[in-house]
Structure 1
Amino acid sequence: HLRTALAGPLPAALDRDDLPERAARLLEYVWTETVRPSWERRRHVLEADVGARTARVSRGGWAAVLDELRPGTRWLGGNRFQVNTHVYPPREIAGAQLVFVPVTPQTGWVSWDEPPSRYAVVYPCAGVLADADARRSSVSAALGALLGAARAEVLVLLDAPLSTTQLTAVTGQALGSVGRHLRVLREAGLVERRRAGRSVLYARTDAGRVLVRAAAPDSGRARAR
């Protein structure tokens, strides 16, 4: 596969009999030192992203979700899906599996096995979930002043249903704090909860959505125009 990807001979550093063993040790090191310490939080972020995009399907259909996966993806209609902006010949994948894989780094790619029977579109989690700076910037000063920054952050995140555990992992707030924020938001009619299997999910109500939209940074400019 490496020779195919490089379209030529392997570099000397890779042309060795013990390459599989060395690669396995490298992957183990990466997992142990860089992924496992934060895996619980990453896992909840990934689950939250899947939940958010599933809710998006119910509101806008598959086309809306595919158009927003990552830069370059677009539903073209007629069973055609654009995965990037490169000018490559179209690939027929009828009969193969197509899976969507979220990752926490803000990047993405497409991969497949050989012979191609399964394709994976790897896409970054929504920035508001995975990126703390993006999440903070999505909370307007007006909403933060009204509710408090931490509580406003919870309300903004609940555009799609999330559990208390997911909110705790995504925001970094303590479980007790998240629980108090949810209780206050529910009592104010801004958030509702429902059971999904063994989980309890929270989401914004219509009133909560109106409040978030009204307090958005560009809402004042829109009204002024």
Structure 2
Amino acid sequence: MGFWQIGTDVLARSRFVVSPLAETVACLSALGGQHATSAPQREWLAAHRAAFDARYAGDPFVRPFLHTAIRPGWIADFLVTPPHTPGETFSTELARLRRTPDATARAHLGLDGAVPDVLRADGLAERAADLVEWVWSQLVRPGWPRLRRVFEADIVSRNARLSTGGWAAVLDGMRPGMRWLGDGRLQINTYDYAPMDISDASLLFIPTTAARGWVGWEEPPRSYSVIYPCTGWLATPTGAAPPDALARLLGPLRATVLTLLATPLSTTQLVAVTGAGLGSVGGHLRVLLDAGLVARRRSGRSVLYYRTPTGAAVAATDAGGEDTRTRI
């Protein structure tokens, strides 16, 4: 079992951040086909694999690189170095990847002398950066504004859990095989790795659409990260679209809010997921409250909204405008 020894001051300084590079690497992992994929990734692949295959058909570098650098149980370290500052742009992250010496990048493949010949040539890090840049610009960036809101909503949810349940509530099950062991020990996976002392390091937590996630680090600086799967339905690229009949009845945004409240959410989370303004979301919540379609309860510092039985029945209208309850 691999675990990190983490001081309380490291946890106190740790941050949840969004990283466009981490999400792009998660998408590369899905394209490589050697890691498990999440439902959002499978939907993303259905939309984008043809463009990727058309761009890189016959390319002598891309397939060997993906199958070597992102294989079962392994992601090359130079692809997953943590951001140096919160809010770091993709171009900044990419520039750091591009500056990796070829010898370092090759060592990070973890194959010793068994590196494929095509990956021994000069320019390994440069070609890897070109691939990452193309996937970001052509396949990830067009949907990034919504994905970013989804990741920010996940971070809001985890910070709320932290305020009520402490770090154990946040870290247990953040990614498969990960749990808080107590006494400053964080189990990061179930592999038989030697413990690592990161009591004087910085620590970041980064959501992506990956099915399992991974960990990354860079020394110097002493910087570590845990890349984890974004919570369940929040990671679905298309979101929770309301039935057409419900949208006609309530209006598109109000119907979307009611549909999303199948899971209790705060106003801040609804703003992040829908992309609507705080005033607009708050106004729709007041109308739904007055109509008895939603209720609210306090959870720590947050107020969560959820559908009442009446709201659930209204939201169960099918796409053809028919009541989905059984007729006699």
TM-score, length of structure 1 as denominator length: 0.69
Q: Does 1:204 align with 2:307?
A: no
After superposition, what is the alpha-carbon deviation per residue over 1:83-133, rounded to whole angstroms, capped at 9, x for unaligned? 111122211111011111111232300111134711111001101211369
Give the number of equivalent residue pairs: 190
Which of 116, 135, 145 is equivalent to 1:11? Answer: 116
Determine if contact 1:107/1:123 at 8 Å carries over to the other structure: yes
Whether the 8 Å CA contact 1:110–1:120 is kept in 2: the answer is: yes
Among candidates 268, 272, 293, match of residue 166 of structure 1: 272
Cα 1:132–1:103 shift into 2, 3 Å: closer
* Partner SS for 1:31: helix
Q: Tell me, in whole angstroms, the C-alpha distance in 2 between the residues paired with 1:133 and 1:163.
A: 16
Cα gap change, 1:192 to 1:77, in 2 (>3 Å): closer
Q: Quick check: 1:72–1:83 contact (8 Å CA) kept in 2?
A: yes
Aligned-pair distance for 1:41? Answer: 0.6
Measured against aligned partners, the alpha-carbon deviations of 1:115-174 in whole angstroms (never above 9, x if no partner) come to 4711111001101211369969xxxxxxxxxx99845432234434525542315xxx9x
Q: Is the 8 A contact 1:96 1:117 kept in 2?
A: yes
Whether the 8 Å contact between 2:179 and 2:186 is mirrored in structure 1 is yes
1:163-216 deviation line (CA, Å, top 9, x unaligned)? 5542315xxx9x9996775233333462489xxxxxxxx8425xx48x58xx8x
What is the aligned partner in structure 2 of residue 197 from structure 1?
Answer: none
Match of 2:172 in 1: 67
Aligned equivalents of 2:170, 2:125: Cα separation in 1? 37
Higher relative contact order, structure no. (Cα contacts within 8 Å, ≥ 6 residues apart): 2
TM, length-normalised to structure 2 = 0.49
The answer to whether the Cα contact below 8 Å between 2:157 and 2:269 also exists between their aligned partners in 1 is: no
CA distance in 2, matches of 1:95, 1:179: 42
Aligned to 2:285: 182
**SS of equivalent to 1:204:** strand
SS at 2:204 equivalent: strand
1:92-111 equivalences in 2 (<5 Å): 92-111=197-216
For 2:121 and 2:266, locate their aligned partners in 1 and report how far apart those are by CA, in whole Å.
49
When residues 75 and 161 of structure 1 are mapped into structure 2, their CA distance, relative to the original with a 3 A threshold, is farther
Task: Give the equivalent residue in structure 2 for 1:55.
Answer: 160
Distance 2:158 2:223 in 1: 21
Runs of at least 5 residues in structure 2 that lack an aligned partner in the other structure: 1-103, 242-249, 313-328
Unaligned 5+ segments in structure 1 are 137-146, 194-201, 216-225
One-letter amino acid matched to 2:304: R
The separation in 2 between residues aligned to 1:29 and 1:18, in whole angstroms, is 17
Percent identical among aligned pairs is 45
Question: 1:24 corresponds to which residue?
Answer: 129
8 A Cα contact 1:162 1:203, kept in partner: no
Give the partner amino acid of 2:231: A
**Which residue identity lines up with residue 3 of structure 1 in the other structure?**
A
Is 1:154 the counterpart of 2:260? The answer is yes
In the alignment, residue 211 of structure 2 is paired with which amino acid? Q
Q: Against the structure 1 CA distance between its residues 58 and 64, is the aligned structure 2 distance closer, same or farther, given a 3 Å change threshold? A: same
For residues 85-96 of structure 1, what are the structure 2 equivalents within 5 Å? Answer: 85-96=190-201
Q: Distance in 2 between matches of 1:80 and 1:18?
A: 39
Distance 1:91 1:180 in 2: 49
Q: CA deviation at 1:42?
A: 0.6
